[in-house]
Amino acid sequence: TQTVSQSDAHVTVFEGDSVELRCNYSYGGSIYLSWYIQHHGHGLQFLLKYYSGNPVVQGVNGFEAEFSKSDSSFHLRKASVHWSDSAVYFCAVSPGSWQLIFGSGTQLTVMP
């Protein structure tokens, strides 16, 4: 059974700070890992994904994520956040087929 864990339900930072949103997964085989963003009242939007190769992947709006097989993690980072980055971020795991399994989400609040 694949599981996705986002240990932080809420993260609050100030504008211009760096941020890391954590994601850990459990699965024994090859998987896709991805991050999605959900602004309040809207649907989810794709940010980035990893399957193989360079463990650091770049996404839109300055986001990047790093895959670690040893830690079973795929943490999302941004060097300098903007107020518009306030949203809920979902990590997702896919075992190579069509299905995505989502974590419970992390609410990021960026203070002015």
Give the interface with another protein as residue ranges (CB under 8 A): 4, 9, 32, 34, 36, 41-46, 49, 51, 90, 94, 96-100, 102-105
Helix (H, G, I), strand (E, B) or coil at 103: coil
The alpha carbon torsion through 97, 95, 79, 22 (nearest 10 deg) reads 140
**Cβ 16 to another protein shortest distance, Å:** 28
**Cβ 15 to another protein shortest distance, Å:** 25
**Cβ 94 to another protein shortest distance, Å:** 4
What span, in angstroms and rounded, lies between the C-alpha atoms of 3 and 95? Answer: 11
Q: Choose between 76 and 105: whose C-beta lies nearer to another protein.
A: 105
Q: Within 10 Å of residue 102's Cβ, how many Cβ atoms?
A: 14
Q: Choose between 42 and 69: whose C-beta lies nearer to another protein.
A: 42
As given in the structure block, the two tokens for residue 45 are 């939007």
Q: Choose between 28 and 98: whose C-beta lies nearer to another protein.
A: 98
Q: Choose between 28 and 41: whose C-beta lies nearer to another protein.
A: 41
**Cβ 80 to another protein shortest distance, Å:** 26
